[in-house]
């Protein structure tokens, strides 16, 4: 999950772990940092929230006018879709 958080931060989608917890995991602002500190896996619910939020963001990027005009936006959308796939892989792994 740290890799996904870092990519979202790099892309400018989140400024910090608190925002990541609320916006992408659908949890309290300290959820992600607490999981990291306790070395605890994210809940299945948080992972599903993450995957759905990433898919939503990718769809918004792809649906915008800039998508057709900008290679950078297309690359960003592809990156976000890849992150969504990684989140779904983690859900499958937990349920496996």
What are the phi and psi torsion angles at 26 (to 5°)? 70, 30
| pLDDT given for residue 42 in this prediction | 95
For residue 96, is pLDDT > 80?
no
Q: pLDDT digit string (tens) for 33-89?
A: 999 999 999 999 999 999 999 999 999 888 877 777 788 888 999 999 999 999 999
Give Cα 43 to chain centroid, integer Å. Answer: 14
* Of 59, 52, 11, the residue nearest 3 (C-alpha): 11
| pLDDT given for residue 29 in this prediction | 96
């Amino acid at each position: 999950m740290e890799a996904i958080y870092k990519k979202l931060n790099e892309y400018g989608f989140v400024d910090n772990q608190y925002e990541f917890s609320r916006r992408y995991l659908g949890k309290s602002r300290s959820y992600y940092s607490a999981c990291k500190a306790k070395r605890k896996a994210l809940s299945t619910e948080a992972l599903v929230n993450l995957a759905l939020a990433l898919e939503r963001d990718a769809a918004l990027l792809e649906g915008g006018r800039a998508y057709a005009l900008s290679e950078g936006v297309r690359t960003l959308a592809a990156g976000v879709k890849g992150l969504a796939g990684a989140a779904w892989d983690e859900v499958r792994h937990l349920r496996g």
